[in-house]
Amino acid sequence: MSNYKTVFFTLGVLQIILGISMLIPIIIQVIYNQLDSSFIGAGIITIIFGVLFFLSNLNHEKKLNLQQAFLLTSLSWISIAIFGSLPFIFSNLELSITDAIFESMSGITTTGSTIITNLNESPKAILFWRAILQWLGGIGIIVMAITLMPIMNVGGMQLFKISTSDKSEKILPKSKEISIRLILIYSGLTLLCAFFYKIFGMNFFDSLTHSMTTIATGGFSNYNESIGYFDSATIEITSIIFIILGSIPFIAYIKFLSGDKKIFISDSQIRSFIKIIIISILILFFYLLLQNKNFEEINLRAISFNVISILTGTGYVTKEFDNWGSFSLIFFLILMFIGGCAGSTTCGIKIFRVQILYLFLVNQLKKNYLP
């Protein structure tokens, strides 16, 4: 039973962090003169539940086996999504409980789908909370992928084990140190992205919220037109760069800072990711060139942005690509399934699984004609 206490103790810590995060949008409410009780009430409720979980499970063992690791992962996403929906429920958007939980789950899992029909007129604090959810979800996915999933042997993620000397079923000793480094790197990239968004034309609020959802490759925007609202080449290029930075394995950043200066070139997954981006852009470019027969009508900027946004599961849009033809839509659907690199904030089946599948098929073909 002590191991289950560890699960609920950790859940309590996560709830307290979530509750404290709910108090941050109150600053936005004060700045924009939109103060109400939605975030105060939601934050207090969440912190109370977190403290109860925390205090009732203080006497716990500081380790998890596989069973508890799976339970913790499942309960974490469910509980955070439920409590994260409270600000939506208490807001003046008049969302149903189902819609509020959907919006919260979409945010925390960095899915990016939304049920809010008029983002342009939505309260600033709600827009900021959506960005916080995606930002927390992004770092949560990374930490879980690099520290929890390898121990759980989930979907090949054991390839990302930091140490193979510890054969027990407890969380690796280095996990805490790695998690801290990941949070610092993730926060640094977010602030850097916000800085460039700001100098290229976004206001402070938009630059902060969009930087959080860009690094998280979640795609929540403050506007119905998404990034296309700004109609700025420099903003779109900035977005492309930081989406890519959020789409490569975050363990690569740690290796780089630890002295492996060639990791971004030598890592086969990163190389394959960049190759897929370049090849996909060229395929769509030449397809549209053949379809339109007019070089001036081909917008390479729009093609590049949408390919990267869809491949990584970010979901930002700048142009309506429905009129690009049925081939483009099918091609985008394939890219959506592929996703970005494992150990990043992206969705999809991940590049390294595609690599494994490719090698498996090549080996099977070789065995068939060279038995």
Cα–Cα distance between 2 and 62 in angstroms, integer?
A: 9
Find the range with the poorest average confidence among 121-125, 138-142, 311-315: 138-142
Given this model, what pLDDT does residue 175 score?
66
164-215 pLDDT, tens per residue?
334 334 444 466 777 788 889 999 999 999 999 999 999 999 999 999 999 9
DSSP 44-60: HHHHHHHHHHHHHT-S-
Return phi, psi of residue 269, to 5°.
-65, -45
User: What confidence score (pLDDT) does residue 178 get?
Assistant: 79
Look up the pTM and report it: 0.87
Which residue type sits at 112? G
Provide mean pLDDT across the span 57-78: 80
The region, left, alpha or beta by phi > 0 then psi within -120 to 50, assigned to residue 116 is beta
- Provide the 8-state DSSP code for 15: H
Q: Which of 193-207, 214-228, 246-260 has the lowest mean pLDDT?
A: 246-260
Q: Is 70 exceeded by the pLDDT of residue 163?
A: no
Report how far residue 59's alpha carbon sits from residue 51's, in angstroms, rounded to the nearest whole number. Answer: 14
Q: What is the pLDDT of residue 18?
A: 93
CA distance linking residue 267 with residue 300, whole number of Å: 28
pLDDT computed for residue 245 by the predictor: 95
Give the burial class of 299: count Cβ atoms within 10 A of its Cβ; 0-12 exposed, 13-18 middle, 19 or more buried. middle
> Residues of the chain with pLDDT > 70: what percent?
88
Torsion of CA 350, 355, 360, 361, to 10 degrees: 100
SS3 content of the chain, % helix, strand, coil (to 5): 70, 0, 30
What's the confidence (pLDDT) of residue 321? 77
Whether the pLDDT of residue 304 is over 80: the answer is yes
Instruction: Report CA torsion sign: 319, 303, 317, 240.
Output: negative
Q: Looking at the predicted structure, is the pLDDT value of residue 119 above 70?
A: yes
Is residue 241 over pLDDT 90?
A: yes
pLDDT of residue 173: 43
Give the per-residue pLDDT at 6: 82
Amino acid 154: pLDDT: 54
Range from 198-212, 251-265, 287-301 carrying the lowest mean pLDDT: 287-301
Residue type, 214: T
| pLDDT for position 168 | 37
Instruction: State the Cα angle at 123 between 119 and 124, rounded to 5°.
Output: 95
Residue 153 in this model has a pLDDT that exceeds 70: no
Mean per-residue pLDDT of the chain = 86
pLDDT at residue 66 in the model: 75
> What span, in angstroms and rounded, lies between the C-alpha atoms of 235 and 233?
6
For residues 69 and 151, the answer to whether their CB atoms sit within 8 Å is yes
Rounded to 10 deg, the angle between the 124-143 and 97-108 helix axes is 50
State the angle between helix axes of 66-84 and 2-23 in degrees (0 to 180), rounded to the nearest 10. Answer: 30
